[in-house]
């Protein structure tokens, strides 16, 4: 299987180069980029929508939506909030890569933006291997997924900057040991920032928004937009 290993290495090397170019492009435009990953149904789109609603006046975001199928369910929700959204259909592939994000960034007017949010395909395994060229890797976990996930899917948590634990409104109805879950995360990644939130009640969003705003670079705002 040497040949296959060699090809996989070349693909990952090429991905790294394009990711670095994506990051340089974002930096040049003073745009902070985030890669939002999660299992299917953990609430990526809901967290992104609540985040967009809470952005202070004058902070402009664009969103790249990764989907395995040609459906625009999530992109339509984002557009309905007045935020530019680009949909990328991976044609069945299980993750976004830096080339797909490069194409997506070309469709956003980065000069006008402060924040680029990339919603990855719902998958706790494959996206972990592909740097997209963002500034922060973020996973959204959710209470119904169960408290054993850091132990069973460790790779995705290792390279993270932020973990958002969503659906805490369901804690009364589900057996979920928060200390067991967060201990598993901190063993893998002692420096990670953890925020617990509910998109239903809005609880916990202040901490996450305050972290996010602290990362967005200063930028002369264009007038007359």
Residues contributing to the site for a copy of itself (CB under 8 A): 3-4, 7, 11, 39-41, 67-69, 71, 73-74, 92-94, 121-126, 142, 144-146, 148-149, 151-155, 167, 169-170, 173-174
What's the closest the beta carbon of residue 190 comes to a copy of itself, in angstroms? 19
Q: What angle do CA 102, 212, 192 make, to 5 degrees?
A: 90
Strand-pair partners of 62: 116
Cβ nearer to a copy of itself, comparing 111 with 177 = 177
For residue 117 the two structure tokens come to: 């949010």
What's the closest the beta carbon of residue 169 comes to a copy of itself, in angstroms? 8
Q: What angle do CA 189, 119, 28 make, to 5 degrees?
A: 85
Cβ nearer to a copy of itself, comparing 24 with 187 = 187
What's the closest the beta carbon of residue 162 comes to a copy of itself, in angstroms? 19
Cβ nearer to a copy of itself, comparing 152 with 223 = 152
What's the closest the beta carbon of residue 38 comes to a copy of itself, in angstroms? 9
**Burial of 64 by CB count in 10 Å (0-12 exposed, 13-18 middle, 19+ buried)?**
buried
Using an 8 Å Cβ cutoff, are 45 and 30 in contact? Answer: no
Cβ nearer to a copy of itself, comparing 60 with 167 = 167
Cβ nearer to a copy of itself, comparing 115 with 124 = 124
Using an 8 Å Cβ cutoff, are 104 and 86 in contact? Answer: yes
What's the closest the beta carbon of residue 153 comes to a copy of itself, in angstroms? 6
Q: At how many degrees (to 10) do helices 2-28 and 98-106 cross?
A: 30
């Amino acid at each position: 299987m040497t040949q296959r290993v060699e090809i996989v290495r070349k693909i990952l090397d090429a991905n790294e180069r394009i990711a670095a170019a994506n990051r340089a492009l974002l930096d040049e435009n003073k745009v902070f980029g985030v890669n939002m990953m999660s299992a299917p149904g953990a609430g990526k789109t809901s967290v992104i929508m609540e985040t967009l609603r809470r952005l202070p006046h004058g902070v402009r975001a664009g969103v790249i939506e990764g989907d395995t199928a040609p459906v625009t369910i999530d992109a339509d929700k984002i557009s309905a909030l007045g935020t530019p959204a680009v949909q990328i259909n991976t044609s069945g592939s299980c993750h976004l890569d830096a080339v797909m994000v490069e194409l997506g960034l070309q469709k956003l007017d980065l000069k006008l933006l402060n924040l680029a949010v990339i919603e990855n395909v719902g998958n706790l395994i494959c996206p972990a291997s592909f740097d997209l060229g963002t500034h922060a890797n973020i996973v959204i976990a959710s209470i119904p997924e169960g408290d054993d996930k850091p132990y069973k899917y460790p790779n995705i948590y290792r390279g993270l900057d932020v973990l958002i634990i969503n659906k805490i409104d369901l804690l009364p109805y589900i057996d979920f040991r928060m200390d067991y879950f967060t201990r598993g995360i901190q063993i893998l990644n002692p420096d990670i920032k953890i925020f617990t939130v509910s998109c239903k009640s809005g609880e916990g969003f202040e901490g996450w928004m305050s972290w996010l705003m602290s990362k967005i670079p200063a930028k002369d705002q264009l007038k007359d937009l």
